[in-house]
Amino acid sequence: MTSIPTPPDGRRPIRRALVSVYDKTGLEDLVRGLHDAGVALVSTGGSARLIESLGIPVTEVADLTGFPECLQGRVKTLHPRVHAGILADTRKPEHLAQLEELDVEPFELVVVNLYPFRQTVASGATPDECIEQIDIGGPSMVRAAAKNHPSVAVVTDPAAYGSVLEAVTAGGFTLEDRKRLAAEAFVHTASYDVAVASWMGNAYADTSDGTGFPAWTGATFERAAVLRYGENPHQRAALYRHWRPGLASAEQLHGKEMSYNNYIDADAAVRAAHDHGDQPTVAIIKHANPCGIAVGDTIEEAYAAAHACDPVSAYGGIVAANRPVTAAMATALNETFSEVVVAPDYDEDALAILKEKKNRRLLLLPEADVAAADPIEMRPVSGGLLIQTRDRIDAVVEGADRAAGATGSAGSTNPSGSANPSGSTNPAGSANPAGAVGSDGAADSTNPARSVGSDGAADSTNPADSTNPARSTNSVGSAGGDDPSLWRLVAGAAADEATLADLDFAWRSVRAVKSNAILLAAGRASVGIGMGQVNRVDSCRLAVDRAGEERVRGSVAASDAFFPFADGLQILLDAGVRAVVAPGGSIRDDEVIAAAEAAGVTMYFAGTRHFAH
């Protein structure tokens, strides 16, 4: 066997191909085209059976190796007669001489795709079922062919089969083509390996340290789009897509291409619009902060109330709904300018109305894709990565008990109408998802009250309120959570049903506001929002100013973290707020409670915090 001459463009004629695929999309057309071009086919298992059923000659790997497939298909291609044919560098006479000595024929083309490991994991399969979908022979062949790209072309994507047939007709792939295919192949196996390693790292990792976080983590992303620019015109940007569904995979139905800032704001809007259970909800976002959030009996009512919160800021904002957009909502949307609308669906008439604005971007993001959001958040920092469980409206402080909070508390029902959010499981799989988290992120099992502290320590010495036995002997206590049934009444009379519904709405909504955050609400709609201030006093002033004197009077307030002093709360009280919910936990909680008592205002401590940075 003599070395194969290489033309100037590096083309290598394809005379023999190894085909072993799980995904048989496009396989029939591919093998017919290869056969018609005179390419000899070698294949395995189901791929070989399909080729045979087409009446196309094929050599089964078992016949090539003289060794049968065994162990329920676990061993098929792991044999020197296969891998020598893939790895032989046909530019080297010594390799060709050894192939001749061993009676091994080289391959010029390897077509392989892998077992559906990710899909199996996502389906909720058992660990044993997942393990069976860890491909061994496939990645080995792909890596071998990619390494030997000077002599072999490797294809892992059925979408590339058309280019394979074009290359066969043209006399083979060029060297540049084979390099590109090799790079794609290594990405394919690397992504696969990361998926397997991440799953096993979570499923089987040593958890003896009690953190709930694996010692190693990895993620892979594929470029989905190159954006016009980044946050500013001088910055370059692209969108990369993870295998989990979400905003990055939303279908764009209309409008200009999405920008970097559009994606940032749309992501914030989607999260804000899906924090209120099954109630129709709309959130309008600008610069990652809400201009308005509201729930309503219908989605158009929710939009009207959300827009009314701050119509000036809502101009040019991003609108997200958790229900299909109706014609009535679309008509209202067309009365002003919005950059993006995101919804799980659009009525036919609504879509026609919205498309009257040619530049407005319309995104379709199914409810199931929102629900499947990764329970883990990652944020890059210089030289590393921060990871945390996603902040959801379902936090429960360690030791929380509804019965403990029933007397003088918000009651045992959830006025938002959603299913019990505080009873959800921990998606991250940590041992204690509800455990208190201090300002450094470390769980504090000795004093769960510290979960609400950031700029002050939890107050464990606050004396009992002997005038109201319904109140906790500790301003925070050892229990609490996002569900109103877990809140503790610390000042004023217990809220009536309507007030409690507004407090619950405000608490669910303030999570979407950048800290320091204050949200005023009335009628299950925001009426004033103070966001992103470096002290809580200014956030209180901003919320009151945005609401205006008429709307603030009789509203309720939610604070994302404790009031370190009574001064911020006093601004709300002086403006006429009738009820407040906050985490509690300041060393001056007694002063804050006293201010609420003096004003005759109802105040609850939730015991949880919702900073957003």
| CATH code for the domain in which residue 508 is found | 3.40.140.20
**C-alpha closest to that of 502 among 528, 527, 524:** 524
Q: In this structure, what DSSP letter does residue 570 have?
A: H
Would residue 287 show up in a list of annotated catalytic residues for this protein? yes
Residue 1's pLDDT is: 53
Confidence of residue 582 (pLDDT cuts 50, 70, 90): very high
Mean pLDDT on 250-256: 95
Between residues 127 and 224, the one the model is more confident about: 224
Q: Are residues 569 and 514 in the same domain?
A: yes
Specify whether the CB–CB gap between 474 and 460 falls below 8 A: yes
Confidence of residue 3 (pLDDT cuts 50, 70, 90): low
Mean model confidence pLDDT for the chain:
82
Question: Using CA atoms, how far apart are residues 101 and 527, in angstroms rounded to an integer?
Answer: 84
Mean pLDDT on 349-373: 91
pLDDT at 309 over 80: yes
Tokens 């089969």 locate to: 161
Q: Are residues 441 and 311 in the same domain?
A: no
Domain count, the chain: 3
Residue 8's pLDDT is: 56
Q: Taking every pair of C-alpha atoms in the chain, what is the biggest distance, in angstroms? A: 100
Tokens 């789009």 locate to: 225
Domain of 535, in residue numbers:
390-426+434-605
Residue 5's pLDDT is: 56
**C-alpha closest to that of 217 among 237, 202, 232:** 202
Catalytic residue among 24, 242, 256, 287: 287
Structure tokens at 538: 């200014």
Cβ atoms within 10 Å, residue 248: 18
Residue 232: inside a domain, yes or no?
A: no
Q: Are residues 483 and 544 in the same domain?
A: yes
Residue 206: inside a domain, yes or no?
A: no
Specify whether the CB–CB gap between 568 and 536 falls below 8 A: yes
pLDDT at 204 over 50: yes
Q: From residue 384, give the alpha-carbon distance in Å to each of 297, 378, 389, 606.
A: 45, 10, 17, 33
Q: What 3-state class would DSSP assign to 501? A: helix
Residue 397's pLDDT is: 66
Residue 37's pLDDT is: 87
Per residue, what are the HEC states of 413-455? CCCCCCCCHHHCCCCCCCCCCCCCECCCCCECCCCHHHHHCCC
Q: What is the pLDDT of residues 10-61, one digit of tens each?
A: 788 888 999 999 888 988 899 889 998 888 899 888 888 888 898 888 888 7
In the chain, % of residues over pLDDT 90 = 46
Question: Using CA atoms, how far apart are residues 218 and 197, in angstroms rounded to an integer?
Answer: 8
Residue 209: inside a domain, yes or no?
A: no
Between residues 424 and 334, the one the model is more confident about: 334
pLDDT at 412 over 50: no
Residue 506: inside a domain, yes or no?
A: yes
Cβ atoms within 10 Å, residue 45: 17
Residue 235: inside a domain, yes or no?
A: no
Q: What is the pLDDT of residues 417-457, one digit of tens each?
A: 443 333 333 333 333 333 333 333 333 333 333 333 334 33
Q: Are residues 439 and 477 in the same domain?
A: yes
Q: Are residues 79 and 197 in the same domain?
A: yes
Most confident of the following: 88-102, 397-411, 441-455, 473-487:
88-102
Residue 554: inside a domain, yes or no?
A: yes
Question: Using CA atoms, how far apart are residues 520 and 526, in angstroms rounded to an integer?
Answer: 6
What pTM did the predictor assign? 0.78
Question: Using CA atoms, how far apart are residues 415 and 16, in angstroms rounded to an integer?
Answer: 68
- What contacts 480, CB < 8 A, 6 or more positions away? 396, 397, 400, 405, 486, 487, 488, 583, 584, 605, 606, 607, 608
Question: Using CA atoms, how far apart are residues 547 and 292, in angstroms rounded to an integer?
Answer: 11
Would residue 147 show up in a list of annotated catalytic residues for this protein? yes
Q: Are residues 478 and 541 in the same domain?
A: yes
Q: Are residues 444 and 540 in the same domain?
A: yes
Catalytic residue among 147, 179, 242, 355: 147
Question: Using CA atoms, how far apart are residues 556 and 14, in angstroms rounded to an integer?
Answer: 74
Q: What 3-state class would DSSP assign to 271? A: helix
Question: Using CA atoms, how far apart are residues 2 and 205, in angstroms rounded to an integer?
Answer: 51
Q: Are residues 190 and 284 in the same domain?
A: no
Confidence of residue 133 (pLDDT cuts 50, 70, 90): confident
